[in-house]
Amino acid sequence: MKFLALLSSMPFESDQVLDALRNVRVLNIAGKTVYRGRLSGHDIILLNTGIGKVNAAHSATCIIEYFQVKQVVNFGVGGAYPQSGLKIGDIAVASKEIYGDEGVITSKGWDSLRKIGIPLLQDGTKKYFNEFTLSLNRPFEKGGRGDFQIKRGNFVTVSATTGAQRRAIELGKRFNAICENMEGAAVAHVCTIYKIPFLEVRGISNVTGVRDKRKWDLKLASGNCQKAVLEFMTRYKNGNGRFK
């Protein structure tokens, strides 16, 4: 039996998906609560990783080692970069995941791991420094869904979220990115090691650079993201779409 693994950072980002699961079994793996069930023709593993790169990488590694995982979907909320054109409640789908912090600080500013010359991962002759291209991003079409738009683009994973306007514009331009998060690149990294296809979907809860939680909407972002993921699961059943 091969599983589709669904990972979100926090429980509020996956509560609707959990409610939709059928024949649910609750397991404990490496101190983490794991839900196993069925959804739209798929055998599902659902897990809340916790915040940050290490928690995300540990969680992804645990389930891949414990179960036969055919694909991984990471979903939840994220911040839109100012130049992205995304609004609160919109959906961002990653075409590439980028580590935004790893690298070196020089007198001229930040530079990537290429400056050091040591890749994070090497597969044959292919070297991975800061970037991982995602293989599962096409199932989501561009455009709107009535109450939100869907847009594909580069994601940046950071250790410290961006609460300054100047920094937000800088990161958005540097990486030609639309969305910021704290876990995605770590999950993409692990999936690349194991050669497992990976999809990342984020609902926009805020615009980066604006550290005013009165202007955020975590509930709307999470709800729309889960709506998109559930719709995706329904449309792409086993043998009928990307998930095979």
Position 72 scores a pLDDT of 96
CB 70 within 8 A of CB 48: no
CA angle 156, 100, 45 (to 5 degrees): 50
| Predicted structure pTM score | 0.93
Position 36 scores a pLDDT of 98
Residue among 189, 201, 8 at smallest CA distance from 86: 201
Residue among 64, 86, 231 at smallest CA distance from 172: 86
Rounded to 10 degrees, the C-alpha dihedral 77/81/84/87 comes to: 50
Position 177 scores a pLDDT of 98
Q: Which residues of 137-150 are buried (b: 16+ CB within 10 A; e: fewer)?
A: beebeeeeeeebbb
CB 204 within 8 A of CB 221: yes
CB 63 within 8 A of CB 6: no
Position 240 scores a pLDDT of 43
The domains found in the chain, sorted by start residue, are 3-235 (3.40.50.1580)
Distance CA 125, CA 198 (A): 21
Helices (H), 24-174: 53-66, 113-116, 165-174
Q: Per residue of the chain (244 residues), what is the pLDDT tens digit?
A: 899 999 999 999 999 999 999 999 999 999 999 999 999 999 999 999 999 999 999 999 999 999 999 999 999 999 999 999 999 999 999 999 999 999 999 888 899 999 999 999 999 999 999 999 997 655 555 555 567 899 999 999 999 999 999 999 999 999 999 999 999 999 999 999 999 999 999 999 999 998 888 889 999 999 999 999 998 888 765 444 444 3
